[in-house]
């Protein structure tokens, strides 16, 4: 079965065959081909300290519970905060950039050099290559100082990001595991949670094309093509569209 799409939380693109891009170093590309697997780092390893957090107003209003005495409301609010914080250790995320073409910004942010590549698939192929243990959808961007978000789904904090990240136009595939059996208010030991998980894919179906980084030398494009052939793939490899000559 394909990945899920909980419509209460996950927003799907209008065009299910839209292109998804993932920018990476050449060494990570070889690792991807060799393992035939998508890598899902643990949420707390993604580098954003707000990962899995909620807007300020949502958290502040946790203590506004007239059905509880003030002290009991504060205790309950703290328990919810701890549960949300520790959910990062059971959440694994694979990130993509949705765009019809290359992004100069994404090359700079995630390529790292002119000897990098971008792999391209589609939203539908990503959904099809996963299974019902995963959910896939667009990230939504908000002003965390203003928005109030109702807490009703554990996935919600992981498909929300601050507006300053809106340029990423991100699509996420997410899996929540329950390797450590806990109730919602227990703490999780991060030392016992894997730093990442892998999911095997059929590369011949999954990959649409590969682009080499802007300003890369011609030999690098040839190397990428020979590497693709080495893994018995016929995926087309292109030089960067950003290298086209300007006309005056």
Q: What is the pLDDT of residue 234?
A: 97
Helix and strand counts by DSSP (H, E) for the chain: 7, 11
In this predicted model, what pLDDT tens digit does every residue of 188-220 receive, in sequence order?
677 778 899 999 999 999 999 999 999 999 999
> Which of the four pLDDT bands, split at 50, 70 and 90, describes residue 151?
low
**What share of the chain has pLDDT > 90, as a percent?**
62
Q: What is the 3-state secondary structure (H, E, C) of 121-167?
A: EEHHHHHHHCCCCCEEEECEEECCCCCCCCCCCCCHHHCEEEHHHHH
pTM of the predicted model over 0.95: no
Q: In 10 A of CB 231, how many CB atoms?
A: 14
As a whole number of Å, the CA-based R_g of the chain is: 20
In this predicted model, what pLDDT tens digit does every residue of 160-187 receive, in sequence order?
899 999 999 999 999 998 654 444 445 6
Grouping H, G, I as helix, E, B as strand and the rest as coil, residue 86 is helix
In this predicted model, what pLDDT tens digit does every residue of 129-138 receive, in sequence order?
999 999 999 9
State the pairing for strand pair 19-25/170-176. Answer: unpaired
Q: Are 55 and 142 in contact (CB under 8 A)?
A: yes
């Amino acid at each position: 079965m394909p990945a899920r799409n909980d419509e209460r939380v996950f927003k799907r693109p209008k065009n299910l065959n839209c292109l998804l891009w993932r920018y990476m170093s050449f060494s990570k590309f070889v690792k991807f081909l060799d393992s035939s697997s998508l890598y899902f780092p643990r949420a707390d390893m993604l580098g954003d300290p707000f990962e899995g957090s909620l807007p300020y107003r949502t958290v502040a209003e946790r203590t506004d519970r007239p059905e509880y005495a003030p002290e009991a409301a504060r205790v309950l609010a703290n328990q919810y905060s701890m549960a949300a914080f520790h959910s990062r250790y059971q959440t694994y995320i694979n990130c993509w950039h949705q765009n019809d073409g290359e992004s100069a910004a994404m090359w700079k942010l995630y390529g790292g050099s002119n000897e990098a590549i971008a792999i391209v698939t589609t939203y539908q192929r990503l959904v099809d290559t996963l299974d019902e243990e995963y959910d896939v959808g667009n990230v939504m961007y908000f002003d965390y100082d203003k928005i109030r978000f109702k807490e009703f789904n554990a996935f919600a904090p992981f498909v929300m990001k601050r507006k300053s990240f809106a340029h990423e136009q991100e699509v996420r595939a997410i899996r929540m595991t329950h390797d450590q059996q806990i109730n919602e208010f227990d703490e999780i030991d991060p030392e016992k949670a894997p730093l990442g998980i892998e999911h095997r894919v059929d590369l011949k179906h999954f990959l649409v094309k590969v682009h080499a980084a802007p300003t890369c030398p011609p030999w690098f494009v040839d190397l990428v093509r020979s590497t693709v052939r080495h893994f018995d793939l016929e995926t087309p490899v292109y030089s960067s569209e950003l290298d086209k000559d300007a006309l005056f």
